[in-house]
Amino acid sequence: MRLTKITTRTGDDGTTGLADGSRLAKNSPRIAAIGTVDELNSQLGLLLTETLSPTMRESLLGIQHELFEFGGELAMPSHVFIHETHILRLENWLQQFNSELPPLKEFILPGGSRAAALCHVARTVCRRAERDCLSLGQVEAVSPILLQYLNRLSDLLFVFSRAINREQQVADAQWQRKGG
């Protein structure tokens, strides 16, 4: 399917179409989840405008494609696009990148370099996507694999944030407990 006409006016009534032709309110839990996954993908696109290692860049580009498939699964509930192999790949990247980082002794604040800060923003959008998919799962069936994927991805984005700061020789900002 190719989109040749972007303005259709079919959404002027507050609904949007799913891949099967059905229409839902734009504020329905399913559309909210699709929208947040799309926002996450856009945040990753913004992150990819920064200087990143080739391995991280390749990983993030792959994740963008997977998130598009993820959105497709949300838009076509009868189809399965995200599998356990996707989660295993995220876990492998997690292990690979985290093994090169020093252990955490304190919580860290989002920030450091611009690229790491953008990665932290993507991480928080990923957590929101996870919450939106969980909310959807309370009213309609959602594959548990989708929730696992977002959970692992948010962990990976946290590790990527730290790895970016390390590559750019910028210290992570450690949380400092204030008395009181």
pTM: 0.90
Number of domains in the chain: 1
Q: Does residue 54 sit within a domain?
A: yes
The whole-number pLDDT of residue 113 equals 96
Model confidence pLDDT, tens digit, residues 45-94 = 999 999 999 999 999 999 999 999 999 999 998 899 999 999 999 999 99
Residues of the chain scoring pLDDT < 50? none
Domain range enclosing 162:
26-170
Q: Does residue 143 sit within a domain?
A: yes
The whole-number pLDDT of residue 3 equals 57
Tell me the DSSP string of 15-58: EEE-TTS-EEETTSHHHHHHHHHHHHHHHHHHHTTS---HHHHH
| CATH code of the domain containing 153 | 1.20.1200.10
**DSSP 8-state assignment for residue 111:** -
Instruction: For residue 174, list its beta bridge partners.
Output: 108
Q: Does residue 18 sit within a domain?
A: no
Backbone angles phi, psi at 102, to 5 degrees: -70, 150
Instruction: Say how far apart CA 113 and CA 46 lie, in whole Å.
Output: 14
115 near 50, Cβ under 8 Å? yes
- Which H or E run includes 174? strand 173-174
